[in-house]
Amino acid sequence: MLTAVSCGENREEEYRPRTDTNKWIVEKMSDVYLWNTSMKTSDKTNAVPEIFFPTVLTSNGNGGRSDSYSFIDTEGNTNRLSISGESYGFEYYTENVEGKAIAARVLMVYKDSPAFRSGLKRGDRITAVDGIKLTQDNISSLEKGGSRKLQLSTYCIDNSVTETNGKPQYIWVPTDTIDLQASEVTACSPLYFDSIYNIEGKNIGYMMINNTAPNSTGYEYAQQLSDAIGKISACEEIIIDLRYNSSCNMNLISELASMLYGKSSASDALLTKRFNENHRDRDSIIYFGNKYPANRLNKDKIHFIISDKTAMEAEAMIRSLSEKMEIITAGTSSMGKNIIQEAYVCPTYPQYVIYPVVACYAANAEETNNFSPVTAKIQITEKVDTVETFKAIGDTAEIMLKATIEKILHPDTETEPEQ
């Protein structure tokens, strides 16, 4: 007697949550995604949505770059775009050490933050966390979490190793430990530092402006910025340092823009918020601020210090102002993160929430959307592999401020990029 045996089983129902969700992803992204005309066609329709979603993102729509910003949440979280602001309160970059081991070089410590209260300083090198050597696998532990013990180290020449290519070999030598307090939301003012320098008979005004505090309206800091602008308004040259400004409330940016470009009025357009062709009805104009008109600069030129951490609203403002006045940028190219994201919940399987890029900021005279980084005209970086401790922010010997001042004093002198 023959028995019929199926060569395979029908797993359609098993895969339905995946396939239905992935179908919804394609439909929604085709409608709202800013780069919907350059979405990729994926053959992973049976994959779990968190695997499928990245496979449809553009590989060249973001100014010739892939989309590294859109993402999917699998736990029904619709607040991932809200800035919680919880952190240890410091900026850093990574240095390669031996093999996979790395060091985190501290760039900025925010006032009144856990890092500030714990004694961490600009220029410190962190080589271990809680007794474990720092690697790419655990460096995220420096972002937020509970209290931690940090190992600080410094370079020393290893005299036991023969020089390579005429260069000495270095080893890490522990210098200190720091008990880092638990992360928290730090609501510090975006105005980190301001001063006036008189150098070679020229008055130079300087301000460093960082991110706004979480859930800020921006307006609560505008008066402080206005007061600082008033102090430097009589200076011959102005330097605005936005090197760590990666997310600043647009209300404050519009007010700041009006302070920097004193010829503006409340009816003048600063930026255009642009969506894709399906949602042109959502395009809107962002105007120069007008709540704090008392202190404004009457300048035709401003120097900006930028870095690869400068992003979004700050980048957009620089682009817009460059169409109205002379802008001289110093530092490294900005992040090129000219995007706006929104959350969309899958109606059938609400545990899936996608966060696509849906819009961008554009300077008003731009015919097309600009996603390229702002290029620094004066190339200089503070990420220099040197044994010297970083100078303090605002110190005229600090590497990026020094280069900007040198260009102001000697505009015809070519600046050699730091290596």
pLDDT tens string 297-328: 999 999 999 999 999 999 999 999 999 999 99
pLDDT confidence of residue 13: 78
Count CB neighbours of 413 within 10 A: 9
- 176-186: pLDDT as tens digits: 999 999 999 87
Q: Which domains does the chain have, with CATH numbers?
A: 86-185 (2.30.42.10), 191-338+360-409 (3.90.226.10)
pLDDT at 83 over 90: no
pLDDT confidence of residue 80: 84
* More confident position, 185 or 9: 185
Where b means 16+ CB within 10 Å and e means fewer, 385-410 reads eeeeebbebbeeebbbbebbbbbbee
The interaxial angle of helices 313-322 and 250-260, nearest 10 deg, is: 30
pLDDT confidence of residue 418: 46
Q: Do 72 and 353 contact (CB within 8 A), yes or no?
A: yes
- 25-57: pLDDT as tens digits: 999 999 999 999 999 999 999 999 999 999 999
**Mean per-residue pLDDT, 389-409:** 91
Residue keyed to tokens 């995220």? 140
Ranges of H-type helices in 211-355: 219-232, 250-260, 313-322
**Mean per-residue pLDDT, 216-227:** 90
Residue keyed to tokens 């910025």? 225
**Mean per-residue pLDDT, 198-211:** 96
**Mean per-residue pLDDT, 200-228:** 91
Residue 242: exposed, middle, or buried by beta-carbon count in 10 A (0-12, 13-18, 19+)? buried
**What residues contact residue 5 under an 8 Å CB cut-off, 6+ apart?**
none
Residue keyed to tokens 């080589």? 127
Residue 325 CA from chain centroid, whole number: 24
49: which 2 tokens? Answer: 């949505």
CA-based torsion, 368, 288, 325, 373: positive or negative? negative
Nearest of 356, 316, 336, 359 to residue 80 by alpha carbon: 356
Separation in Å, CA 18 to CA 33, 36, 77, 350, 356: 21, 22, 18, 12, 19
pLDDT at 100 over 80: no
Q: Do 56 and 26 contact (CB within 8 A), yes or no?
A: yes
Predicted model pTM:
0.87
Q: Do 134 and 105 contact (CB within 8 A), yes or no?
A: no
- 317-367: pLDDT as tens digits: 999 999 999 999 999 999 988 899 999 999 999 999 999 999 999 886 554
Can you tell me the distance from the alpha carbon of 350 to that of 388, in angstroms, rounded to the nearest whole number? 53
pLDDT at 96 over 80: no
The full DSSP string for 30-80 is HHH-TTGGGPPP-S-TTS-HHHHGGGGS-SSTBTTB---S-EEESS----T
pLDDT confidence of residue 166: 60
- 110-139: pLDDT as tens digits: 998 999 999 999 999 999 999 999 988 899
* More confident position, 169 or 16: 16
Q: How would residue 15 be classed by pLDDT, with cut points 50, 70 and 90?
A: confident
Of 10-19, 55-64, 88-97, minimum mean pLDDT range = 10-19
